[in-house]
Amino acid sequence: MSTKRGFTTSILHADRLGKPEHGSLHKPIHTSVTYGHEDVQDLVDIFQNKKSGYAYSRQGNPTVTALEQKVTQMEKGMASIAFSTGMAAISATVMALIKGTDHIVASSFLFGNSRSIFQTFIDMGISIDFVDATDVENVRAALKDNTRMVFVETVANPATQIADLKNIGNLCEEKGIIYVVDNTMTSPYLFNPINVKASLVVNSLTKYIGGHGNALGGAVTNTGLFNWANYPNIFPGFKATVKPEALGMTQIRKKGLRDAGGTLSPEAAHSISVGAETLALRLDRACSNALALAKFFNDHPKVKKVFYPGIESHPQHALAGELFARYGGLMSIELDESLDCLAFLNKLKLVVKSSNLGDTRTLAIPVAQTIFFELGAERRAEMGIPESMIRLSVGIEDLDDLLEDFKTALND
């Protein structure tokens, strides 16, 4: 009998097969902040990276570890570190691995908060160039002798541009550069960045993996493809006690998680872990709803443009079909000039006006006035974000109910 099981089966039984306490089907919530040891040598060895274990919950907790193992399993990686949010995961990764003399190439279409923290890094002295990552040649042209990292997203939020993921991965492998792929918009159910040679994978666990809008979290996963032994920024003290393949993650956990303190709570870890069990079921429904809505908007005279990889007019439609299992649950629409986007949103009765995404409920937000307001009109235009854009995170409601809500709002 084959032991290879499907995505949902594997995740559903992951905790149980780890044999948690008292036959529990989920890893229990461990709220202890600190951990005692009968032999002080065990405590010493944990601090010196000579053995695994727990000393202080800022950098490790049994409930959080169970979630980390689940994320690693979903991403087909080697190890994961969980954080309090996806932004904490991004910030800690850059802080831990990049020095002020280094250079980063990043997608010019990064989500607003990601773009904001990268601007903060620029203000701190790190050199960062933003390029159109839909073409690998733009990335290649931006590389310098001191380029240490390339950072892209699978699908850009909110205009849904898709990075040239495979070719960028080949380029980073060739040059020995850390390749970070933010997989939040696709999730490990629709795509595994390890397949395009990503070094590290970022997920906002708040979004599709948690999926219910009830817990914040983030994670970074090591795919095992990058040679950390040759990376010049590794803290020398780690090299004596840490295996070469684990150096990068040890540095992120110690210098990024422990020192910066973006710790995921055990309660949130438990909620996200339970939510992850239905990731595939929720995304199948959300993707089906999103494709149907995209086709509806594409044919509606009061919708000027639809931003969704599932429609043939999308510039990367063919690439999305090649890379991803489905086209995702995120889309944006640009309304006709005759409609005011705020007034339109207020006419929606079922759809929730909210800033989150990846929820079970369909959420909508005016982009230029909220999540990308701080960037200013000029930079929004550079990123392909019109002033009347509305971002939609499509949920799992009955499709007919969603269609009726949008039809009424558009025709009212």
Closest among 140, 172, 209 to 359, alpha carbons compared: 209
Instruction: Give this prediction's pTM.
Output: 0.95
Final residue in a domain of this structure, among 248, 268, 288:
268
- C-alpha dihedral sign at 33, 39, 42, 48: positive
Residue 1 has pLDDT above 80, yes or no: no
- Identify the residue with better confidence: 329 or 57: 329
Total length of the chain: 412
- Residues 147-162 have a mean pLDDT of 97
Final residue in a domain of this structure, among 234, 268, 302:
268
β-bridge partners, 201: 181, 221
Q: Three-state DSSP class for 91? A: helix
Closest among 66, 72, 65, 80 to 220, alpha carbons compared: 80
pLDDT tens sequence across 56-108: 889 999 999 999 999 999 999 999 999 999 999 999 999 999 999 999 999 99
**99 is in which domain, residue-wise?**
7-268
Confidence of residue 221 (pLDDT cuts 50, 70, 90): very high
- Identify the residue with better confidence: 133 or 385: 133
Q: How far is residue 152's CA from residue 132's CA, in Å, rounded to a whole number?
A: 10
* 206 plus 116 within the same structural domain: yes
Position 1 in a domain? no
Q: How far is residue 294's CA from residue 299's CA, in Å, rounded to a whole number?
A: 9
Final residue in a domain of this structure, among 268, 287, 310:
268
Measured in degrees and rounded to the nearest 5, phi and psi for residue 45 equal: -65, -35
| Cβ atoms within 10 Å, residue 407 | 12
Q: How far is residue 323's CA from residue 327's CA, in Å, rounded to a whole number?
A: 9
* 41 plus 90 within the same structural domain: yes
* 291 plus 228 within the same structural domain: no
Closest among 334, 336, 333, 330 to 363, alpha carbons compared: 330
- Residues 168-187 have a mean pLDDT of 98
* 285 plus 227 within the same structural domain: no
CATH label of the domain that carries residue 77: 3.40.640.10
Confidence of residue 3 (pLDDT cuts 50, 70, 90): low
* 401 plus 312 within the same structural domain: yes
* 77 plus 195 within the same structural domain: yes
Least confident range of 10-14, 244-248, 283-287: 10-14
Residue 241 has what pLDDT?
Answer: 87
Residue 177 has pLDDT above 60, yes or no: yes
Residue 2 has pLDDT above 70, yes or no: no
pLDDT mean across residues, the chain: 95
Place of tokens 């169970």: 66
Q: Letter for the amino acid at 336?
A: D
Q: Total domain count for the chain? A: 2
